[in-house]
Amino acid sequence: MLLRFCDDSPPLAKFAEPPPEPAGETGYSRTVLENGLRIVTERVPETRAASIGVLIECGSRDETAAESGLAHLCEHLLFQGTSSRSALQIARQMDFAGGQIGGFTTRDYTCLHAVVLADHVYYALDLIGDVLLNSTFPEEALAREKSAILRELEGGSDVPSERALDLLKQKAWPGHGLGRPIAGTREAVPRHSREELIYFFHRNYTPNRILIAAAGNINHDDFVADCRDAFWRLMGESERPPQVEPVFSPGVSFDIIPTAQTYFAIGLPAPPYAHPHRVLTHLVTGVLGTGFSSRLFRRLREDTGLVYDVHADYHAYAEAGMIVVEGASRPDSVERAVDIVCDTWNRLTRGTDPVGEEELIGAKNRLRSQHLISSGDVYTRMCRLATQELYFGRPLEAVEIQDQISSVSPEDVQREARRLGGAGAHQPLHLAMAGPPLSGGA
């Protein structure tokens, strides 16, 4: 239930920003093994758990067009048996330890991860080490996983919001690895052979492109010794294929499907993950469409009722980023909804409706809370530690992030919005829609 307050806005003093967190001592440590493997840990003594992540600098952006889906397929096959364990034994042994093990693939990287009791860290590392060093990629498992991925692709096609988002990135970043779907295509996945998969694995899974992150009640030196035992046989190095920044292609794309509503995803070019303006971009996105008081939610949900939900997110990668606005409306009203999104963006970026102090405080508090509240989970802390090492080469301490957020003024956010909007009369954006034909034609 959405709580409604009276129109008498409280004075800004009641929304004053809290004082910064005390710095304290960091639990961060870093070691590089003899084979080039990077190990980063954050000690969290108040928990009994530990989360481990092995991050490989290999994602869908590292594939050629013919290799579409190989990184994701490789991640699947790693859990399908080694020279000493079957897929069932891998699952049973982690269940026996009371932990969880899994993996995921993104456009920038692949991650194998586990969450266990701190007493079972060595056990989990031994299992992940076996998976990385001794996977056999059996033919029958390859056929089975390709079938599972095809079902995954079909399932994604059944979700209109996912279809619109995939279509957006494909058309806005054409011909670039960031534009291709992570799971591959229904045409490419069935063609991948075991030999192709093994070659892809050995070409990309080298120690200089692998980092291990852990957060929880662990001792760094002991963890390093355990990693050395588990991964010492990993050898070699490889160069990551160079990638240029994708050229953003404005336009309109439509995927006709039989749905009651038309789903839209609007993309606007934004900075890459490690850009110095990343906090400003997050705050521009927050003012635009994050939360019940954001501009888009107020105009599209509260004022006009054109959508049930609308939100804006900042999707950032190593080479590029995109602000994405997503929502859905009836086919006879989606054009009006999209017009309001574009008008709201133009009024923000051109300064005709400038960023206010109160709405910026709200955006700051949402961003600050998102960071601090999620810090209570060791898995989230491990993921944050790993991605910070990947993109920045160092940890970003909580006090540093909070200070960056607190120091931003409305004028800073307005300048960033103007920079993101570009100097031309027409804003660079790509509109992707999935749904039935519009009343005026698709």
Per-residue pLDDT of the chain (442 residues; tens, 9 = 90+): 233 223 333 333 333 444 443 333 458 999 999 999 999 999 999 999 999 999 999 999 999 989 999 999 999 999 999 999 999 998 888 888 888 999 999 999 999 999 999 999 999 999 999 999 999 999 999 999 999 999 988 877 779 999 999 999 999 999 898 999 999 999 999 999 999 999 999 999 999 999 999 999 999 999 999 999 999 999 999 998 787 889 999 999 999 999 999 999 999 999 999 999 999 999 999 999 998 999 999 999 999 999 999 999 999 999 999 999 999 999 999 999 999 999 999 999 999 999 999 999 999 999 999 888 888 899 999 999 999 999 999 999 888 999 999 999 999 999 999 999 875 546 789 999 999 988 654 4
Q: Which pLDDT belongs to residue 81?
A: 92
Please state the pTM of the whole predicted model: 0.88
Q: In this structure, are residues 214 and 30 in contact, taking their beta carbons and an 8 Å threshold?
A: no
Q: Where are the alpha helices (DSSP H) in 39-81?
A: 70-77
According to the model, what pLDDT value does residue 22 have?
37
Comparing C-alpha atoms, which of 256, 43, 218 is closest to residue 124? 218
Residue type present at position 301: R
pLDDT at 93: 86
Helices (H) and strands (E) in the chain, counts: 14, 11
DSSP three-state, residue 32: strand
Q: What pLDDT, on the 0 to 100 scale, is given for residue 157?
A: 72
Q: Where in the chain is the domain with CATH 3.30.830.10?
A: 28-231, 248-435
The hierarchical CATH code for the domain 248-435 is: 3.30.830.10
Query: Tell me, what amino acid is at 167?
Result: L
At the top level of CATH, which class does the domain 28-231 belong to? alpha beta
What is the greatest pairwise CA distance in the chain?
69
300/286 Cα distance (integer angstroms): 16
Q: What is the spatial distance between Cα 159 and Cα 153, in angstroms, rounded to a whole number?
A: 10
CA dist., res. 175 & res. 370, Å (int)? 34
pLDDT at 21: 39
Backbone angles phi, psi at 351, to 5 degrees: 80, 5
